Amino acid sequence: MTARATALRSGGVSVIVLSQGEPDFPTPPSIRDAGVRAIGEGLTRYTAVAGVLPLRQAICAKLRRDYQLDYDVDQVTVGCGAKQVIFNALYASLDAGDEVIIPTPCWVSYPDMVALAGATAILVPCEPEHGFKLRPEALAAAITERTKWLVLNSPSNPTGAVYSARELAALAEILRDHPQVHVLSDDIYEKLVYDVAFATILAVAPELSERVLIVNGVSKANAMTGWRVGYAAGPTHLIKAMNTIQGQTSSHTSSISQYAAIEAIGGDQCHVADFRTEFQKRRDLVVDLLNQAPGLTCAVPDGAFYVFPSCAGLIGKRTTQGKLITCDTDFTNYLLDDFGIATVPGSAFLAPSFLRISYASSRTELDLACKRIIDACEALR
């Protein structure tokens, strides 16, 4: 959708892009300066596959500071974004016949990564009435003797759902009876939660530490998407295996980016609160406006920077040109082609009849985009 929007823009069409999960804020000055210093000091050579020692030390300190979790530097690895770190973990640990439980809606890359590793994704639908979150009974029903991983993403892309400590404790109760199941805890949006508390599964079930891999990065909360720095903390044997995979693929992420990430993780965090405050204002604006659009229903997400409205009320309607809207993809194509708004159909996240809208844009742009969406819905017959 973003590529189509770019092509339309190049042809002179006015398009507002709400399809990418990328903050519009500039990288904070202190972080940029740390990267510049690294260049000036000549820190531009190969690094250890697992990442430079000061960055891994900063990650250990961060996990201890934020969640009272104790990790040694050998239990931490750094990669080219959280995406590569997740791939390394799955590719290093999965064999043909293994299964990975993925609650849906889910980030588009999880099932494909599992397939690339030769394993099978077990997709477990999570209903809107349950906040798009995995229920303990659904987890128990999905586990087999072949289950190797459970993927948990909180706050969620695409729904913004956030698991509470109580909800994680209920899932941990099921996991205690299945020692073959590991948990990949994708916490990339951890700092972007609104009016709720973020919880990590190890805070409620520390006895699972040898089965949990925490994945995070600096891109979302620090506006550093292009710097490509993600990291993981987990059992030493798994981290070692992930490093083996990385050593034969990318080697390591940019040395300059790693030194900037030290500042992002261990330096002044004031910008994170500023980003979070602005994102919450944008969320409230978008939810309010979208709920004025006939046929759309938009719940208030607790985290990340996406809303995930249902467009089920628009399926079966026709455009002014007579084209039938048969599914969410038809609707998102209609928004782009006729009203210049790029969004992502929910079916891409294994949730038909929904669409994902990123509110990581200015309030002025979001206001205009949502009013166009209202116009688009009102024009359908």
| CATH number (domain holding residue 35) | 3.40.640.10
Residue 11's pLDDT is 85
pLDDT digits (tens, 9 = 90+) for 342-361: 999 999 999 999 999 999 99
pLDDT tier at 177, thresholds 50, 70, 90: very high
**In a shared domain, residues 143 and 222:** yes
Q: What is the CATH number of the domain that holds 294?
A: 3.90.1150.10
Residue 312's pLDDT is 98
Domains in the chain: how many in total?
2
In this predicted structure, the answer to whether residue 233 has a pLDDT above a threshold of 90 is: yes
Mean pLDDT value across the chain: 97
Domain boundary pick from 251, 266, 281: 266
Domain boundary pick from 208, 236, 266: 266
Contact 307, 288 (CB under 8 A): no
Contact 270, 187 (CB under 8 A): no
Most distant pair of Cα atoms in the chain: their distance = 63
pLDDT digits (tens, 9 = 90+) for 263-297: 999 999 999 999 999 999 999 999 999 999 999 99
**In a shared domain, residues 109 and 53:** yes
| Residue 78: burial class (beta carbons within 10 Å; 0-12, 13-18, 19+) | buried
Residue 207, Cβ neighbours under 10 Å: how many? Answer: 10
Pairing, β 344-345 against β 147-153: unpaired
**In a shared domain, residues 125 and 104:** yes
Domain boundary pick from 207, 237, 266: 266
pTM of the model: 0.96
In this predicted structure, the answer to whether residue 2 has a pLDDT above a threshold of 90 is: no
**In a shared domain, residues 55 and 124:** yes
Residue 3's pLDDT is 86
